[in-house]
Amino acid sequence: MIISMKLHATRAEIDEVRRQVEHFGYKVHSIEGEERVVIGVVGVGDVTACFESVEAMPQVENVVRISAPYKFVSREFRKDRTVIRVNGAEIGGAEFAVMAGPCSVESEDQIMRAAEGVARAGAKFLRGGAFKPRTSPYDFQGMEEAGLKLLQKAKKATGLAIVTEIMGDREVELVAQYADIMQVGARNMQNFVLLKALGKCGRPVLLKRGMSSTVKELLMSAEYIVAHGNSEVILCERGIRTFETVTRNTCDIAAIPALQELTHLPIILDPSHATGRRSLVPALSRAGVAIGADGLIVEVHPAPEKAVSDGAQSLDIPQFQQMMQDLQPYIQLWNDSRKKQLTAAAAR
């Protein structure tokens, strides 16, 4: 249920509505807006009595029920897109976001070369895992805090914002000290303990779709983070598992516009994990821009043949620079069309 207060409602009037909601046994989950305060209420069961009572309060403009099971992340809750601002760049706004870097942080030389290369090509975000979810326990598991420190060094040298994976709820505080964006990998999309902890981490979260998860399950996972206090969530399509084997995963490209109908959260595409093959990354990236994703997250390594993880799907730096150059006309069209959408939204 969303309660819109009349313009310039006072603190006392807002508190009165809150008390009324609580009287019916429901919880106020968020209050937002400067001019007009909007109160989000989530309750289990029949909310009719609460709805009617609050609707009759003089300081309330109107009350709307949200039919979707995901409340705060749904389009019904917010008509305008969520824009996430990080380190002077934005995701979901007027600027197409490009995140790039190696699968794993491996050494100072590797991450510095990757960071300088992707920054020169125009990326604003550096990706790189310091905690790695690997299928085999015998494979490289990540440099952990030493890797986070190298990412910090790369940020200092290049100004890039850092996107790095968080695997367990016990590491949230540590990773949040270094990360601008906390990445939740496909394997952890339904780690509900972790999602709840990320509600309080104070950083935007990049939530990757689980390899066997539906779009609605992805949204329910995003709802966990928002319901626990963090409204800055970026969704990521990274391919799902199907019977097809020619690509590592099957990119569900239609999930991007489908998600845009259902949620106000930004959505990016990972063409690297979606294909598993570097030769396919430029074409899929182009498709991502054309279909209206808010950005890309691409694996780039200074020497992919030596990468400890995901070398086969990583572009080298010249390949990434070429791809960025080839994407420019598409990004230009994206910018023009986004500008139109934002102008239309502002006029509503």
Q: What does the binding site for ligand PEP look like in residue numbers (CB under 6 A)?
A: 103, 129, 133, 185-187, 208, 238, 273
Q: Do 167 and 161 form a contact (C-beta atoms < 8 A)?
A: no
Tell me the closest approach of the beta carbon of residue 71 to ligand PEP, in angstroms.
26
**Site membership for Mn ion, residue 103 (CB under 5 A):** yes
Phi, psi of 84 (to 5 degrees): -110, 125
Q: What is the DSSP letter of 76?
A: T
Q: At closest approach, how far in Å is the CB of 158 from Mn ion?
A: 21
123 Cβ contact list (under 8 Å, min separation 6): 98, 99, 100, 101, 160, 324
Size of the site for Mn ion (CB under 5 A): 2
CB nearer to ligand PEP: pick between 21 and 130: 130
By a kind-dependent CB cut-off of 5 to 8 A, residue 278 interacts, out of ligand PEP, Mn ion, none, with none
Site string for Mn ion, 291-310 (x = CB under 5 A): -------------------x
Site string for Mn ion, 112-151 (x = CB under 5 A): ----------------------------------------
Query: Which partner from the list ligand PEP, Mn ion, none does 186 bind, CB cut-off 5 to 8 Å by kind?
Result: ligand PEP
Does the protein bind Mn ion through residue 223 (CB under 5 A)? no
Residue nearest to ligand PEP (CB): 185
Written as one letter, the residue type at 247 is T
CB under 8 Å to 339, separation ≥6 — which residues? 94
Q: In angstroms, what is the minimal distance from the CB of 12 to ligand PEP? A: 47
The CA–CA distances, whole Å, from 198 to 119, 130, 229, 274 equal 28, 18, 8, 25
d(CA 90, CA 287): 21
Q: How many residues are given for the chain? A: 348
- Residue 90 touching Mn ion (CB under 5 A): no
Place of tokens 């509600």: 199
- Nearest CA to 198 out of 218, 175, 177, 228 is that of 228
102/279 Cα distance (integer angstroms): 16
Q: Which of ligand PEP, Mn ion, none has residue 123 at its interface (CB below 5 to 8 Å by kind)? A: none
Of 133 and 318, which has the nearer Cβ to ligand PEP? 133
185 interface partner picked from ligand PEP, Mn ion, none, CB below 5 to 8 A per type: ligand PEP
CB 105 within 8 A of CB 129: yes
Q: How many Å from the N-terminal Cα to the C-terminal Cα in the chain?
A: 22
Residue 133 interacting partner from Mn ion, ligand PEP, none (CB closer than 5 to 8 Å by kind): ligand PEP
CB of 289 to ligand PEP, least distance (A): 20
- Residue 171 near Mn ion by CB under 5 A: no
Interface region with Mn ion, contact rule CB under 5 A, candidates 101-109, 198-206, 225-233, 275-283: 101-109
208 binds, among Mn ion, ligand PEP, none (CB under 5 to 8 A by kind): ligand PEP
Q: How far is CA 42 from CA 14, 32, 69, 107, 297, in A?
A: 17, 15, 10, 46, 33
Task: Select 187 or 228, whichever has its Cβ closest to ligand PEP.
Answer: 187
Whole-Å CA distances, 172 to 175, 193, 272, 316: 5, 11, 26, 31
Q: State the residues that interact with Mn ion by CB under 5 A.
A: 103, 310
